[in-house]
Structure 1
Amino acid sequence: MAVRTFETIEEARAGGWEDLAPSWDLFHSADWLSLESEQTNIAPRFHLAGEEGGRPEAALAGFPLDETSEPWPFMRVDRTLGLLADRWGASVPDGALDPDLLLPTYLGGSRRVPDTLLLTDPGSGTARRRALTRELVAAAEQEARARGSRSVSYLYVGEADPLREVLRGCGYAEFPTARYATLHLPEPGFDAYLDGLPGVRRRKVVKERRVLEAAGLDIDVRPLTGELIPELAPLMVKHGSKYGHSYAEETVTRSLELHVRHCGDTLHAITARSADGVLRGFSAFVHRGTRLYLRQTGYDYDWLGKLPLYFALAFYAPIEYAGRVGATAVDYAVESERTKVSRGCTLEQRYGYLKLFDPRRQAALEPLLEGIRRGAVPAAS
């Protein structure tokens, strides 16, 4: 068995990366990883495993991160642990989260999105997939050591993913990180979705849609192209500010431009305009295979008042669109669990894994990790 490491996703794509990416998966597709390669400040690496000279049977993306990387709490392990400590009331030993103790790190699987997947050929047997997974985990560690990293992290591994067993066996500390929300739509059409909700919630949804209809908004789904970006970016800034994030308009503009460039005609915008034609809110999603992935949203809060426009743009319009195009699931990632569950989403527990190359530092971090495990028990059950 051999592991090849590529410096660009274009080289990895030529080496067979897309043959392993599930048709429904966005965040580990070559198109998405090309977007992430442009956003990150340090070039990623792409590992492919298989028989020497044969087609690849497994793949893993690795993102080197350091103190100059974005302080995104769903990406940089020091920020992730800080977020979890605050959430679960875990005490933080003095200096335990200092960046120079944990960073640089090598993040396996994904970047900026709370979804970690090591790709394997579904045609391989269980034992073969486990062996391939071990090879790629070892290759990522070797790359991390060669780069002078202090740690390797995998932050959002699915509850049923065999990668969990391999990482535990390789000495990684495990801790719960989040619960991932997905809305499954077994039958097409909004009426089928509505019928699946409890009676009280169903009546509330019907009422919200009547309120929105009375507001006279023009809600439309269209391809998200560059000409829309000047209207969308200011609303994204307002949305971020409402939830305590200070985004520069240039930053969100660049993010939207990258989405347009790399997602192409799979990227759509749901826009809501008032009678005067002014954009009052939007959501953006990517359609891949049988799934829609909600990516961005923004609102004119000065105009909005108590109008439930968020639910129209993040739930009702995407569900209607999914019915038209045959999508059977809408991906909502993490956070805002209560709201997502109230609209029919199911939650899957995700787990983080961390290995520090200095065993003493790993041991010193254990009280914090144990505090996170204890605090998160009610949410993980």
Structure 2
Amino acid sequence: MILTLVPDIMDVPADRWDALSAQAGFYLSHRWLSAQQHDPTARVRYALVHDEGRLIAAAPLYVVDTEPNDLYRVHEIVPGRAPGRTVLAGARRGYLNAPLLHPRLTPDRRREALGRLVAASRSLAAAEQAQPWWLYVTDAAAAELADVCNAVPVQLNQDARIPLPGSTFDDYLAGLPSKRRVTIRRERRAFAEAGYELRTLRLSECADAAGALAAQLQGRHGHPADPGFMAALLREQAEGMADTGIVHAAYAENRMIAFSLFYLHADTVWIRSTGYEYAQLRGAHEYFNLVYYLPIEYAYAHGATALHLGMESLRAKTFRGAVTSALWAVDGS
């Protein structure tokens, strides 16, 4: 096995990278990582493991200079850790992570390839006088990393996704208890009767308006955000993602009142962002319709089999059919 580090994910053919990342999810896809790699708050290298010319393992490695997101500051999410420089291995955004390993490797070869990725993160961290960490890794990844790193994983949160059986929204409903079906039908009816004009847009068409609403959401949850800054982030995301994001938006009097942004990747719809002008909402369960029900309809229409919802608000998610799995931090040193 040969380990190399490259500075640009565009040096790796997208089909070869995504052959490894397909099961790991959207936030480790070639396109998402390429859109994130120019973030000025970190420097990235991509660890690649080849065997007889075939890419069999990979991981982005971020040397974090400044971390604006407190949920990626190790000392704030892992008990007993002091502030210090970090090298984050794997995805740095999206709260879902795993080392990328070829699915057809034997157990011994898999462990060896993972060992090369861990060694790469340790070497880079040592050169940068930093600590290597794997954050928000899945159950299976945490177990493998704990074995290779001789570390005890620390649970950070839980990830949520809604499986979508069958081929229609009614098939989704049929899998829920009757009381939940009644609630969802009532919430959908209230939204339909609220009189919003619904639009499906590309992110580039509405980044400014969506950014203003996303800033309101951040402020409501105790994270004040500048609308102009949020709009700029969304414009950059639209450009970096080749404008593949889909926006569902509710308008009133030709003004965007609420939106959700999502991506379709590997048979799953991935919710990425949402926002609301709270003073103008009509009490019509706008959040549940824009973040759950409309994306579920979109998923069925496009052959997707799951809706990924991520962390937080787990009670509301499980009520609507989500299954959860643990997310872990693993000390890579």
> What range describes the TM-score normalised by the shorter chain of this pair?
over 0.9
Whether the 8 Å CA contact 2:24–2:98 is kept in 1: the answer is no
The whole-number CA distance in structure 2 between the counterparts of 1:126 and 1:219 is 50
1:78 matches 2:59: no
1:321 matches 2:301: no
Q: Please state whether the residue corresponding to 1:27 is helix, strand or coil.
A: helix
The whole-number CA distance in structure 1 between the counterparts of 2:95 and 2:260 is 19
Q: Please state whether the residue corresponding to 1:264 is helix, strand or coil.
A: coil
Q: Please state whether the residue corresponding to 2:157 is helix, strand or coil.
A: strand
The whole-number CA distance in structure 2 between the counterparts of 1:15 and 1:323 is 26
Per-residue CA deviations over 1:27-66 (Å, capped at 9, x if unaligned) read 1112111122122422211000022x61211001111124
Residue 222 of structure 1 corresponds to 201
Per-residue CA deviations over 1:260-282 (Å, capped at 9, x if unaligned) read 112225310001112x2221100
Stretch deviating more after TM superposition (264-273 or 310-319): 264-273
Per-residue CA deviations over 1:94-124 (Å, capped at 9, x if unaligned) read xx5442xxx2111111112211111111122
Residue 134 of structure 2 corresponds to 154
The whole-number CA distance in structure 2 between the counterparts of 1:165 and 1:264 is 34
Per-residue CA deviations over 1:199-222 (Å, capped at 9, x if unaligned) read 111111111111112111122323
1:62 matches 2:39: no
Residue 235 of structure 1 corresponds to 213
Q: 2:186 is matched with which residue: 197, 207, 227?
A: 207
1:247 shift after superposition = 1.1
1:259 matches 2:256: no
Whether the 8 Å CA contact 2:153–2:331 is kept in 1: the answer is yes
1:231 shift after superposition = 1.3
Q: Structure 1 residues 343, 205: closer, same or farther in 2, change over 3 A? A: same
Q: Structure 1 residues 240, 29: closer, same or farther in 2, change over 3 A? A: same
Q: 1:125 is matched with which residue: 86, 106, 127?
A: 106
1:298 shift after superposition = 0.4
Whether the 8 Å CA contact 2:267–2:305 is kept in 1: the answer is yes
Residue 182 of structure 1 corresponds to 161
Stretch deviating more after TM superposition (130-139 or 8-17): 8-17
Q: Please state whether the residue corresponding to 1:172 is helix, strand or coil.
A: coil
The whole-number CA distance in structure 2 between the counterparts of 1:232 and 1:26 is 21
1:319 shift after superposition = 0.5
1:73 shift after superposition = 2.9
RMSD (Å), alpha carbons: 1.9
The sequence identity of aligned pairs, in percent, is 29
Q: 2:87 is matched with which residue: 99, 106, 123?
A: 106
Q: Structure 1 residues 278, 4: closer, same or farther in 2, change over 3 A? A: same
The whole-number CA distance in structure 1 between the counterparts of 2:169 and 2:55 is 41
Residue 137 of structure 1 corresponds to 118
More strand by share: 2
The whole-number CA distance in structure 2 between the counterparts of 1:24 and 1:63 is 18
Per-residue CA deviations over 1:299-333 (Å, capped at 9, x if unaligned) read 11001153210011000100001110001011111
Whether the 8 Å CA contact 1:75–1:113 is kept in 2: the answer is no
Q: Please state whether the residue corresponding to 1:123 is helix, strand or coil.
A: coil
Structure 1 residues 227-306: aligned runs within 5 Å: 227-274=205-252, 276-306=253-283
Q: Unmatched 5+ residue regions in structure 1?
A: 86-95, 357-381
Whether the 8 Å CA contact 1:188–1:322 is kept in 2: the answer is no
Q: Unmatched 5+ residue regions in structure 2?
A: none
Stretch deviating more after TM superposition (152-161 or 12-21): 12-21
1:11 shift after superposition = 1.8
The whole-number CA distance in structure 1 between the counterparts of 2:103 and 2:228 is 41
Q: Please state whether the residue corresponding to 2:71 is helix, strand or coil.
A: coil
